[in-house]
């Protein structure tokens, strides 16, 4: 299998450093959240970056699932990703909740789309068996 696209970025200074993509489109400071003992500075953190990437990727996968099921997905549908950092023995682990809002769809349709998207989203495929990912349809 060959890559359709390859993103490349580098980080310096760890969680309180700087990250930049090779094309310069991503160029940002990183800060350690106060909740885990950091200064809570103005920069972002790896969990926020992962949440944003997962939410965007999953939203794209929802579009694929909706087309396959011949369901019209509203332009104002959203996915919110909540990424938690947990202590797991001497290591750390991630915990993810994906919450979908689907105006105009029933709860059952939303749940079916979420499960179908979870099967094809690259982030879901990558985390399967490694990260607890919960799917939820908003009230």
- Looking at domain 46-137, its CATH superfamily turns out to be K homology (KH) domain (3.30.300.20)
Question: What separation in angstroms does the CA of 28 have from each of 25, 44, 111, 133?
Answer: 10, 8, 35, 27
- Asked whether residue 139 carries a pLDDT value surpassing 90, the answer given is no
Helical packing angle, 107-120 and 46-68, nearest 10°: 110
| Confidence at 88, pLDDT banded by 50, 70, 90 | confident
Looking at the predicted structure, is the pLDDT value of residue 1 above 90? no
Each domain of the chain, given as residue ranges in start order, spans 1-44, 46-137
pLDDT digit string, tens, across residues 22-62: 999 999 999 999 999 999 999 999 999 999 999 999 999 99
Distances in Å between the Cα of 11 and the Cα atoms of 21, 36, 44, 51 are: 9, 20, 13, 18
- CA pair distance 120, 5, nearest whole angstrom: 17
pLDDT at 19: 97
CA dihedral of 86, 89, 92, 93, whole degrees rounded to 10: -60
Give the pLDDT of residue 35.
Answer: 94
Reported pTM: 0.94
46-137 shares the fold of 1-44: no
DSSP, res 89: T
CATH of 1-44, one of 3.30.1540.20, 3.30.830.10, 3.40.50.12780, 2.20.25.10: 2.20.25.10
């Amino acid at each position: 299998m060959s890559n359709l696209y390859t993103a490349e970025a580098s980080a310096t200074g760890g969680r309180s450093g700087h990250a930049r993509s090779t094309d310069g489109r991503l160029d940002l400071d990183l800060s350690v959240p106060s909740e885990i003992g950091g200064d809570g500075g103005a920069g972002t953190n790896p969990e926020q970056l992962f949440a944003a990437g997962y939410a965007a990727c999953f939203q794209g996968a929802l579009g694929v699932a909706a087309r396959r099921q011949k369901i019209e997905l509203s332009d104002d549908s959203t996915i919110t990703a909540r990424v938690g950092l947990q202590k797991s023995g001497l290591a750390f682990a991630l915990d993810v909740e994906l919450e979908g809002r689907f105006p105009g769809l029933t709860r059952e349709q939303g749940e079916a789309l979420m499960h179908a998207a979870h099967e094809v989203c690259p982030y879901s495929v990558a985390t399967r068996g490694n990260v607890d990912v919960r799917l939820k349809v908003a009230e």
